[in-house]
């Protein structure tokens, strides 16, 4: 993602071509967590557990709600506990979005 591109712009562009990819979701999550924690995105490592970032449960629930909008699917509130890293969560969500699109035809 280019520094001047917003997370929303990246995903809108990716969504126009199909369901969001794991890379697009990962970039979105890194940017969102970076903004919430007021740290540079380069310091957010996708393989690290969400707990290592010091996210509160309120922030995690808020991000889950935003992720629902992003992928267009209802997601469980335990999502970030079930998939505890940016890597695992972005891969899971990309697969869910692709499966949902395939079902819709």
Q: CATH no. for residue 66?
A: 1.10.1200.10
Task: For residues 29 and 13, give the distance between their C-alpha atoms in angstroms, rounded to a whole number.
Answer: 16
Does the structure show a pLDDT above 70 at 9? no
User: What is d(CA 40, CA 79) in angstroms, rounded to the nearest whole number?
Assistant: 24
Strand-pair partners of 49: 85
- Residue 1 domain-assigned? no
Does residue 49 belong to any structural domain of this protein?
yes
Question: Looking at residue 80, what DSSP letter applies?
Answer: H
Domain range spanning residue 67?
7-104
**Is the model's pLDDT at 40 over the cut of 90?**
yes
Strand, coil or helix: 72: coil
Q: What is the pLDDT of residues 58-87, one digit of tens each?
A: 888 899 999 998 888 899 988 999 999 999
How many CB atoms sit inside 10 A of residue 102's CB? 9
Question: Has residue 2 been placed in a domain?
Answer: no
Could you tell me the pTM of the whole model?
Answer: 0.81
> Per-residue pLDDT for 91 more than 90?
yes
Domain assignment present for 72: yes
Nearest-angstrom CA–CA distance, 21 and 61: 22
Count structural domains, the chain.
1
């Amino acid at each position: 993602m280019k520094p001047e591109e917003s997370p929303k712009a990246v995903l809108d562009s990716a969504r126009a071509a199909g369901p969001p990819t794991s890379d697009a979701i990962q970039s979105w999550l890194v940017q969102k967590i970076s903004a919430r924690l007021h740290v540079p995105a380069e310091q957010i490592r996708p393989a690290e557990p969400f707990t290592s970032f010091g996210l509160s449960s309120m922030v995690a629930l808020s991000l889950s709600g935003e992720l629902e909008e992003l992928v267009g699917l209802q997601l469980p509130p335990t999502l970030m506990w079930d998939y505890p890293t940016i890597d695992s969560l972005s891969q899971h969500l990309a697969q869910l979005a692709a499966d949902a699109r395939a079902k819709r035809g």
